Structure 1
Amino acid sequence: MPQENSARRDELMTELQGEARRSMAAYALFNQAVADHLGLHPTDVQCLNLLGLERDPVTIGRIAELTGLTTGSATRLVDRLERAGYVRRERDAEDRRRVMVAPVPERMAGLGALWRRLNGTWGTLFEDYDESELALLTGYMRRTVELSAVQIERLRSGAFEEPDGGV
């Protein structure tokens, strides 16, 4: 559905863009605080978050895909998580040559408990929304994740160069 271009819409778009920037910055700072609390790197925390969404153990290649890291960087990330006791490497039962990375259930349970304590107050943010508004927010989050993946790829591939060589 095409949107009419109005002064009010322009004003709302400017406000939305500003709030989106504040939200992203707040989340990055929150993620850093969680990482500091756990003695981890922020990327390690988000890797654990993503591993918690996977059904089964994954390869380092899959971790690289999930995080957007190179396989070398993903290997170093797994090394850190293994030293911290959050994951373990195990041989794939079907292909013994393949190494899988599996979360350590007890450590993930502790991390889950921390998230539940932190998320308890976050959940109250959504109490006043009806089902259609929650569906709208969920769709927005999905689209944000998809767009972020595209923009990350553009930045990493060098396809996002400014004409004047700037940032």
Structure 2
Amino acid sequence: MTDTPRARLHDELSMASRRYLAAYVLFNQALADHLGLHPTDVQCLSLLTAAPGPLTVKQIAEMTGLTTGSATRLVDRLERGGYVVRTPDQQDRRRVLVTPVPDRLARVAAVWDDLGEAWEELLDEHTEEELEVITRHMRRAHDLSHAQMQRLRSRPKPA
């Protein structure tokens, strides 16, 4: 790209995105430390609570990019902590579903609630139209990230 206002905005957005993503990873680590969990466990809980229903360990592995063995150990940790339960799938007794435990997730929600006011204030600085743009961008970035993860996982690792 040439040195145009749009090119400068792309560069600025790229740098801001890198800082945001790094800050989020570090925030996730701080949250996990505060809760006595592994960072991947915190993200798995987030994915479980955002899912329309219970997930299998295989689905958790696919969503996180973990092997099924690593996903099983992750679910084991969450189950020992009381955050999830494993239950037989009523439609297919061979499958086991992982379901979040609402009462235990209240511990995580309490931390989010404590931090949430500052996020609300940040969002309140934006118009409804800006919030729509941000939301659309986040949804599209989510989809692109998943596609890029699949792309990376399918490539041989560099020597």
**Structure 1 length normalisation: TM-score?**
0.87
Quick one: which of 129, 132, 157 aligns to 2:129?
A: 132
1:123 corresponds in structure 2 to: 120
1:113 aligns with 2:110: yes
| CA–CA separation in structure 1 for the residues paired with 2:138 and 2:122 | 15
Q: Does 1:53 align with 2:50?
A: yes
Structure 2: how far apart are the matches of 1:67 and 1:52? 14
Root-mean-square deviation over aligned CA pairs: 1.8
Aligned to 1:150: 147
| Residues 113-122 or 34-43, more deviating | 113-122
What is the aligned counterpart of 1:43 among 34, 40, 45? 40
TM-score (norm 2): 0.91
Q: Where does residue 28 of structure 1 map in the other structure? A: 25
Indicate whether 1:75 and 2:77 are aligned. Answer: no
Identity of aligned residues (%): 55
Give the deviation of 1:76 after TM superposition.
1.1
Between 1:99-108 and 1:23-32, the stretch displaced more is 99-108
The size of the alignment, in residue pairs, is 159
Post-superposition Cα deviations, 1:116-151, rounded to whole Å, max 9, x if no partner, equal 211221111111211111110001101111111111
Distance 1:133 1:37 in 2: 33
2:13 matched to which residue of 1?
16
- Aligned-partner SS, 2:50: coil
2-side partners of 1:10 and 1:55: how far apart?
A: 40
Instruction: Tell me the amino acid that sits aligned with residue 130 of structure 1.
Output: T
Aligned ranges 1:85-100 → 2 under 5 Å? 85-100=82-97
Q: Which has the higher helix share?
A: 2
Q: Is the partner of 2:62 in helix, strand or coil?
A: helix
Q: Unaligned regions of 5+ residues in structure 1, if any?
A: none
What displacement does 1:65 show? Answer: 2.4
